[in-house]
Amino acid sequence: MYGALWRVLPGPWWVRLLILLVAVAGILTACVFWVFPFVDTLVAPQDVTVDG
């Protein structure tokens, strides 16, 4: 799959690498700002206290 993605991207290797880095940064940003907060509302936190 990664080889096919690499072959589909246009330009020389450094342009392909730049495109992939921007895409990864965008995906991670979307996860942090939209996906993780949405999942956090679905997961019920447990109130745990540790007596020491």
Q: Are the C-beta atoms of 25 and 15 separated by less than 8 Å?
A: no
Q: Which helix (H) or strand (E) holds 15?
A: helix 13-30
> At residue 51, does pLDDT exceed 90?
no
Q: Is residue 22, in this structure, part of any structural domain at all? A: yes
Q: What is the mean pLDDT of residues 43-50?
A: 74
> At residue 29, does pLDDT exceed 80?
yes
Task: Give the domain range for residue 16.
Answer: 11-37
Distance, CA of 24 to CA of 35 (rounded, Å): 15
Q: Is residue 50, in this structure, part of any structural domain at all? A: no
Q: Is residue 28, in this structure, part of any structural domain at all? A: yes
Number of domains in the chain: 1
Q: Is residue 17, in this structure, part of any structural domain at all? A: yes
> At residue 23, does pLDDT exceed 70?
yes
Confidence of residue 25 (pLDDT cuts 50, 70, 90): very high
Q: Which helix (H) or strand (E) holds 24?
A: helix 13-30
Q: Is residue 33, in this structure, part of any structural domain at all? A: yes
The answer to whether the predicted template modeling score (pTM) of the entire model surpasses 0.75 is no
**pLDDT confidence of residue 30:** 95
Q: Is residue 5, in this structure, part of any structural domain at all? A: no
Q: What is the mean pLDDT of residues 8-18?
A: 95
Q: Is residue 24, in this structure, part of any structural domain at all? A: yes
